[in-house]
Structures are given as structure tokens and as C-alpha cells.
Chain A
Amino acid sequence: MRDMTLDDLHGEAGVEHTLTYADGFRRRIYVVDREVPFPEGRLIVSRTDTAGVITHANESFVAMSGFTIDELIGEQHYILRHPDMPPAAFKGLWDTVNQGQKWHGYVKNLRKDGAHYWVHAAVVPNIRDGRIVGFTSVRRKPSRSKVAEAAALYPTLF
């Protein structure tokens, strides 16, 4: 996964961050102060393997993320990680789904162009013959009040 560059922002002013993911990988990103609204009636759907590598992404996922499908397949799902999201939120996600349980919560995702979009995300383990073989994530339009609650809570979790 490559570092972001200022070219990704298409002329918008961005703030630089360096993210360190749970596996120790570090990446430079830029964030712009712009929210892209979640499209009405759509669902963002993706699947990963057990290591979090994207194996399937639907059209809505591609459109909202700003990446092409070829840029997404084979990448870690954390390519969407926004620096405002506390690592504790994702630890809770992984702990839950690895126990075979469903997780849901409100997530601020980073787009390829540095903008963001909020989602109500649900992740379920894909259990086949009693074994977890991957994960399916479905994101839908969140309520503004839940987004406001999450936006107030997350800075306190760092």
C-alpha cells in the first residue's frame, strides 16, 4: 500500500498524518476537511480474508472510496482508516468477529482523495463448516445523531 501524495487531493489543502496500523505497517496520508454524503438506498459491501485483505468490493464501495476496484482487491481493508478513528474501535471489531460474533458500529472512513464518509458498519464472520474463512462487511447510511455521538466519543478513546 503506497503513501498518499498531495496529487491525490486534486488541489485541496490537506493535513499530513502518519498512521501505524495494528500489524506495524506505517503509511503517510493526507486528510481534507470534506465529508461526502452516503448515497440514499445504497449499501457498501466488501469481503476480506481472515487477514483483512479485501477479496470482494461492490460498486458502491468503489464509488465511495474513490479507489478503482483494482486498487482495492488484494489490499488491506485498513486502506480506509481515517486518523480520527481510535485504534481501540478496530480492536473491538476484530476481537468480536474473531470470536464468531457480529460487530456493528459507526465508522469514519478515509477516501483516496483525503475526504471522508461516515457509515453504520456491520461485520459478520463467514463461517463455513464451523470455521471462519473470512468476513463480510456491510455499510449503510448512518443517522446524524449517531454520527454526532461517535464524533464526540472517538477523540476520548486515544
Chain B
Amino acid sequence: MTLFFTVSPDFNAKYLPGWFVVNTWLQRQLDEGIHLETFDDFDSLHAALRSDSIDLIYANPFDAARLVRDHGFLAVARPHQRPDEAVVAVRADSEVRSVDDLLPGTRIATTDNPDVHMMCMIMIEPADLDAGNVFQQQRPSYVLVAKSLLGGEADVGFFLAETFDELSATVRNDLRVLVRSEIQVVSHVLLVHPRIANRIAPLRECLLSMAGDARGRAALEDVGISSWEAVDQEDVEFMIDLMTALTA
């Protein structure tokens, strides 16, 4: 039986080839067929999840919550010291100096990444802004969020922090960080479908040894991960409780 593996579509595009290298390494170590398929957007991913075809997923926190609570997915590992953080940015010459300067009617450029969107909405809440009094423009990528800011079509942009930090120096110099999250405890996590619960132990062992193997380490570097750390079900339940609280 070939396992179906996918990765949350919010990864940096430069890591796409790296995920195929990771998958090849995993197949060799586990001596098991694993088919990696990536999706261009969250709608496509969620359609695949509804079809119940996915066995392994490197899930963003928002999807992880749903998969664990509603579909019984089980936690295997998460990247070591790589929390998901978000950035709210403005154009460098913007008159907005702090979140408190933002006013109702603010035009927001965002993506379909639910975690980043939620974290950024929370960070502009102190200015009395919410979904009911801002204009949101969804863009297909963070580069296009930056473009919307630079072109004056949006007043603020929502970014995954690591993606913001990897924008070209030219683009970053024309933008300014208004606020950056320091949540620290929310991260992507590798989950498996309960039908392959018997593979958790070997898979976890394999992942935890990955950084100690030269090829494994190189593959991890290609996806921006230093190493994996074991995560048990209660760790993920804690993160889900936290995400649930944040949606208040």
C-alpha cells in the first residue's frame, strides 16, 4: 500500500523541491512507498482531506486542530524550535506608526493561510478593528501581498514571519513591520491518519534520527528545518486548546 503524503500549502515555494527530497529519504528509510502530492491552495487541500485520501500530513496549526479533533489524526513530530509567527507590515513611508494608528476602513492584503490571518487579526484588535470594519483583499501569495502594499492597493499586509524575512532586500526595505507575533507555542506538526496508527513508532524513530544522517540533514535543510522533535497527543491537544481560545 502506497501512503499519501501532503504538506500544508503555506510553505515557501523555494522549499518545494526539498519536500520531494525528504519524501525520497523517508521512503528509503521506511522501505515503504510514499506518494507526495502538494496543493496550490487551502481549498484544494481541504477537498483532498474531505475525500479521506491523505495518510500523512505536515499540517499547519489550524488544519491540525480540525484533523485531530474531528478526524482522529495522530501526532508524530514537529520541527524543532520553528514556531509559526506572523507579521503585520505597512509600506515604509506609511503614516501609520503603530497598531493604534489604524482606523476602521483599513485595507488589508492577506492570503488564504488561516493561521497567519487569525494571528494578524488578533494583533490589530487593539485598534478596535475586526472583520466587520476592515476591507480584506485575499492574494494568492505573500509576494503579491507585498506588491499590494507597494502599489498602494492595501494599507497593511499580513505575512507568515519567515516568508516576510525571506522577501528580497529591495522589497523589505520598502516595507516596515508594524507588529510581529511572539506566540512561541504554535507550530506545524506532522500527523498521520488513524488507519496507519501502527506506523507511528517507526515513522517517529525515523524522523528523530533524520538530523543525525548526512543525507537526512541535507534534506531537512532543503525545507528549512533543523531537526524534528517528538510530539505526543497531549502536546497537540494543548496547541489546539490554545487555538480554540484564540478564536474567541
Give A contacts to B, CB under 8 Å.
38-43, 45, 47, 58-60, 102, 104, 120, 122-124, 126, 128, 136-138, 140-146
Given A60-B182, A145-B128, 18 more pairs with CB closer than 8 A: A39-B182, A40-B123, A41-B180, A43-B183, A58-B184, A124-B241, A124-B244, A124-B245, A126-B241, A137-B245, A138-B246, A140-B125, A141-B123, A141-B125, A141-B126, A142-B126, A144-B100, A144-B126
A-B contact pairs, 17 of them (CB 8 A): A40-B99, A40-B123, A41-B179, A41-B181, A47-B238, A58-B184, A58-B185, A123-B245, A124-B244, A126-B237, A126-B241, A136-B238, A136-B241, A138-B246, A140-B125, A141-B123, A144-B126
What is the chain B residue whose CB lies nearest that of A125?
B241
Given contacts A58-B185, A136-B238, is CB(A102)–CB(B245) below 8 Å? yes
Which residues 194-245 in B have Cβ within 8 Å of A in the complex?
A: 237-238, 241-242, 244-245
Assembly CA distance A120 to B248 (angstroms): 10
What is the chain A residue whose CB lies nearest that of B100?
A144
What is the chain A residue whose CB lies nearest that of B87?
A41
Judged by DSSP, the binding face of B is helix
Distance (whole angstroms) from the CB of A71 to the closest CB of chain B: 21
Q: Which residues of B contact A47 (CB under 8 A)?
A: 238
Q: Is B13 in the interface zone, CB < 8 Å from A? A: no
Q: Is B45 in the interface zone, CB < 8 Å from A? A: no
Q: Is B122 in the interface zone, CB < 8 Å from A? A: yes
Distance (whole angstroms) from the CB of B165 to the closest CB of chain A: 15
Is A143 within 8 A of B248, CB to CB?
no
Distance (whole angstroms) from the CB of A73 to the closest CB of chain B: 16
Q: Which residues of A contact B184 (CB under 8 A)?
A: 58-59
Q: Which residues of A contact B183 (CB under 8 A)?
A: 41-43
Chain B, interface residues (CB within 8 Å), range: 20 to 34
Judged by DSSP, the binding face of A is mixed
Assembly CA distance A128 to B69 (angstroms): 10
Q: Which residues of B contact A137 (CB under 8 A)?
A: 245
What is the chain B residue whose CB lies nearest that of A38?
B126
Q: Which residues of B contact A60 (CB under 8 A)?
A: 182
Given contacts A41-B181, A145-B128, is CB(A140)–CB(B122) below 8 Å? yes
Is B125 within 8 A of A143, CB to CB?
yes
Q: Which residues of A contact B16 (CB under 8 A)?
A: none
Q: Is B127 in the interface zone, CB < 8 Å from A? A: yes
- Residue of B179, B241, B244 ringed by the most chain A CB atoms within 10 A: B241
What is the chain B residue whose CB lies nearest that of A146?
B128
Given contacts A143-B125, A143-B127, A145-B128, is CB(A45)–CB(B185) below 8 Å? yes
Distance (whole angstroms) from the CB of B244 to the closest CB of chain A: 5
What is the chain B residue whose CB lies nearest that of A144?
B126
Is A41 within 8 A of B185, CB to CB?
no
Q: Which residues of B contact A123 (CB under 8 A)?
A: 245
Is A102 within 8 A of B125, CB to CB?
no
What is the chain B residue whose CB lies nearest that of A42?
B182
Assembly CA distance A102 to B179 (angstroms): 27
Assembly CA distance A126 to B125 (angstroms): 26
Assembly CA distance A13 to B244 (angstroms): 40
Assembly CA distance A141 to B248 (angstroms): 13
Q: Which residues of A contact B123 (CB under 8 A)?
A: 40-41, 141
